[in-house]
Amino acid sequence: MLELNTLDRTQERPITVYALLPAFIIASVFVGVITIIAELAINSAGDKFIKTWLTETHGHHWVGKGIWTLILFGVFSFIGYLSLKIRSKETPARLVRWAGHTAIIVSIAIFLFYTYEYNLSH
């Protein structure tokens, strides 16, 4: 457990900051997953039903994805704030690096998916 009593509490609120990182990772993965699944999930009527649901609920599927990304980020930030335990001095830096890695992986996945989809149909 990180020894919080060695930190200047007026200068830093570690758990608040570090709780944002797993929340960002989850929200990023959600963006990647919903982006791909919304294009691939087709019901028996040939409808991309997840995209349709997002459009009907939020006016536009992309707006819906943005709203749910923010909601997930907020919810998991709060959960992380209540439950996150920093077990070593290295954990904060490790969490930050993983957040960066996740952003890269998700971005590449989204780009490759659309490139693949385009090449399939053209």
Partner 1 sequence: MSSLFIFTLITHILLGLVGVIATFLVLLNLLKKNLDIKKLRNMSLLSALGYFLSWFSGGYYYWFYYGANVKPVIKEGDYAWAHLVIMEAKEHIFLLLPIMSLVTVAFMYMSKTRLVTDSNFKSAVTYFVAVSFTLAVLITLSGIIISGGAQ
Query: What Cα–Cα distance (Å) separates residue 31 from each residue in 63, 71, 76, 81?
Result: 12, 12, 14, 22
What mask of x and - would describe binding to partner 1 in positions 49 to 88, judged by CB under 8 A? Answer: ----------xx-xx-xx--xx--x---------------
Q: Does 42 bind partner 1 (CB under 8 A)?
A: no
d(CA 93, CA 73): 20
Mark residue 2 as left, alpha or beta (left: phi above 0; alpha: psi -120 to 50; beta: remaining): beta
User: Which residues contact partner 1 by CB under 8 A?
Assistant: 7-8, 11-14, 16-17, 20-21, 24, 27-28, 31, 35, 59-60, 62-63, 65-66, 69-70, 73, 89-90, 92-94, 96-97, 99-100, 103-104, 106-107, 110-111, 114-115, 117-118, 122
